[in-house]
Amino acid sequence: MRFLNYLLTAASLLMLALPLAHAAEPLSSLGAAQFREDLAFIRKTIDTAHPDPGFSTDRAAVEAALERLGQDLPPVLSRDEAWWRLATLNPLFADAHFFIGYPDWRGEAKAWLAGGGVLFPIEVEIGPDGRLFVRSPERPRIISIDGVDAEQLVSTLLARIHGDTPAFRANLLAERWWFYYGKRFGAAQRYQVVLDEAGRRRTVQLPASRAIPRLLAEEADFASLYRLAIGKDGKAVLTVGSFSQPDPSPFLAFTRDAFARIRDAGVTELEIDVSRNGGGDDALWLDGLMPYLASRPYRTGSTYRARARAQEGAAAPVTDGEITTWRQPQPENPLRFGGKLSVRIGPATYSSAVLFANVMRDFGMARLIGAGGAARTTQSGGVRSFSLPHSGLPFYLPRFILDPPAGRVSRALLESAMP
């Protein structure tokens, strides 16, 4: 049980900075034989470290892709070229806790800007049909960038993005467009962008940006991640943008104050917004939200499959079991909210945020609203990170797979009861 408890409370934030197992000094370039050895390491690590690859992947398709990647290689590849090739595995893995990543992409972007570098200047959105839009109230469509069709750019980059579903991957690419676009096409000082604004096309010349991208700025700003808005109509929205905090104390103080304000304002209808919450540590929502929300006993999941850690190169045993820890509501809590409750989800809701939404839905404590269909209700977690032996690229895999409290429905996606 000690091992299981560790697994089920481990932080599993999307692309969380984790210590690398089998750490290697990365090469600035590697030969074809070394690239193939990285492929062999990927194949072996899937077999020995993942609890159930078939949970999200088609093993035959992954094996065929690994074979193709080892063919027709140039004599020498840069690390970025190796990453560009290996990242084509990510959509096949189809799990945002299972992918070939890029080391410290946040840190690299910040260092690049601090050193005088520039980034693509537009924050974007990607539609379900693959069309590219400017993220703004007017939402003009981007037709092309520097003469290249925008839908072609989206398709090229999406082929390297990780995540459960096309909707999840499109949202992730949009949030990090500046990074992926720059890695593939470089950073220009100016961009020629063709826009379609309400049926009228125009070409604009835009200087590159030296500003910290919105995603990175918001991640570093507590007030952007966590806020409470109370209306005069008895309704309130509590935005919880992440369950990842190195020190939980400020978050716990924030939620305690928020629910005191909710009580004092006489709020009758409360929305918890986790639509942009990529997850983190379950302890934040268990300790920071559920004492004020839970109206009945609950557990964080039902059944699980987990793989223990093993010595290097060895396959650890896989264990199946049931979550037997039930948590109790706190009806005596003077700040417990007793009104109408909803949880807003979105295409970025993931990991611990999905577990929170599962609990609220499956135990009838809240209805889910917003945009669903992006993440599975059954979630992997307890992420491990391996370093590929030659390229040094991080390879992320989960240690466990956890079914929602109501039980697994194969491939079921987290959906809202209303848009």
The reported pLDDT for the residue numbered 21 is 37
pTM over 0.75: yes
Q: Are residues 285 and 159 in the same domain?
A: no
Q: How many domains does the chain have?
A: 3
* Structural domain contains residue 416: no
**pLDDT tens sequence across 236-254:** 999 999 999 999 999 999 9
In a domain, 19, yes or no: yes
pLDDT attached to residue 411: 85
Same domain for 359 and 222, yes or no, is yes
Q: Is there a domain that residue 3 lies in?
A: no
Q: Are residues 222 and 205 in the same domain?
A: no
Domain shared by 155 and 62, yes or no: no
Residue 111 lies in a domain: no
Question: CATH no. for residue 269?
Answer: 3.90.226.10
**What does the pLDDT read at residue 25?**
52
The answer to whether residue 106 sits within a structural domain is: no
- What's the confidence (pLDDT) of residue 315? 79
Same domain for 67 and 42? yes
Q: Does 180 map to a domain?
A: yes
Do 147 and 269 sit in the same domain of this protein?
A: no
Could you tell me if 92 and 162 lie in one domain?
no
> What pLDDT, on a 0 to 100 scale, did the predictor assign at position 314?
72
- Both 223 and 138 in one domain: the answer is no
194 and 334 within one domain: no
Q: Is residue 417 part of a domain?
A: no
Q: Convert the chain into a string of H (helix), E (strand) and C (coil).
A: CHHHHHHHHCCCCCCCCCCEECCCCCCCEEEHHHHHHHHHHHHHHHHHHCCCHHHCCCHHHHHHHHHHHCCCCCCEEEHHHHHHHHHHHHHHHCECCEEECCCCHHHHHHHHHHCCCCECCCCEEECCCCCEEECCCCCCEEEEECCEEHHHHHHHHHCCCCCCCHHHHHHHHHHCHHHHHHHHHCCCCEEEEEEEECCEEEEEEEECECCCCHHHHHHCCHHHHEEEEECCCCEEEEEECCECCCCCHHHHHHHHHHHHHHHHCCCCEEEEECCCCCCECHHHHHHHCHHHHCCCCECCCCEEEEECCCCCCCCCCEEEEECCCCECCCCCCCCCCCCEEEEEECCCCCCHHHHHHHHHHHCCCCEEEECCCCCECCEEECCEEEECCCCCCEEEECCEEECCCCCCCCCCECCCCEC
Q: What CATH number is given to the structural domain containing 162?
A: 2.30.42.10
- Which of 152, 184, 209 corresponds to the end of one domain? 209
Span 47-105, pLDDT tens digits: 999 999 999 999 999 999 999 999 999 999 999 999 999 999 999 999 999 999 999 99
- Examine residue 413 and state whether it is found in any structural domain, yes or no: no
How high is the pLDDT of residue 410? 84
Does one domain contain both 236 and 323?
A: yes
Which of 155, 184, 209 finishes a domain? 209
Is residue 129 domain-shared with residue 29, that is, in the same domain? no
Residues of the chain with pLDDT under 70: 1-27, 310-313, 418-419
- Same domain flag for 230 and 378: yes
Residue range(s) defining the domain that contains residue 247: 217-385+392-402
